[in-house]
Structure 1
Amino acid sequence: MLAPRTLNGLLDIAAIPSEAIPVSARAIAHLSLYDWLAVTRAGEDEPVARIVRDLVADEGGREAASVVGLNKKVPARAAALANGTASHALDYDDTHFAHVGHPSVAILPAALAVAEALDAPAAAVLDALLIGAEASIRVGMVLGRPHYDRGFHQTATAGAFGATVAAARVIGLTRDEARNALSLVATRASGLKSQFGSMGKPFNAGIAASNGVEAAELAKRAFISCDDGVGGPQGFIDAHVDVAFEDAAWASPPPATFLFEDVKHKLHACCHGLHATIEALRQAQRTHGLDPAAVAAVDIRVNPRWLKVCDIKQPRTGLEAKFSYAMVTAMTLSEVDTASDAVYADELCRDAALVAFLPKVAVTGDEAIGDTGAVVRIERGDAPAVMARFDLAERLPADVLQRRLRDKATALVGREAAEALWRDVAELESMSASRLARNLRAGT
Structure 2
Amino acid sequence: MGILDKTYYYFIGAGGIGMSALERYFKSIGKTVLGYDKTPTELTSALIEEGIEIHFEDNTDLIPAEINQENTLVIYTPAIPKDHKELNYFFDQNYEVLKRSEVLGAITKHTYAIGVAGTHGKTTTSSILGHLLKVADLESTAFLGGIAENYHSNIILNGSKYTVAEADEFDRSFLRLSPKLAIITSDDADHLDIYGEREEVKKSFQEFGSIVEEQLFVRKGLNFPNSKTYGIEEGADYDGVNVRIEDGFYVFDVNTPNGTLKDIKFQLPGRHNMENAVAAIAVADYLGISSEKIHEALASFIGVKRRFNRFMIHDKVYVDDYAHHPTELNAVIRSLKELYPGKKLLGIFQPHLFTRTRDFAAEFAESLSELDELILLDIYPARELPIKGITSKWLLDMVNLKEKSVYSLEEALPAIQSKDFDVLLTVGAGNIDTLVTPIKKWLESEA
More strand by share: 2
More helix by share: 1
Which structure exhibits the higher relative contact order, with contacts defined as CA atoms closer than 8 Å and separated by 6 or more residues? 1
Question: Do Structure 1 and Structure 2 share a fold, with TM-score over 0.5?
Answer: no
Please indicate the TM-score interval, normalised by the length of the shorter structure: under 0.3
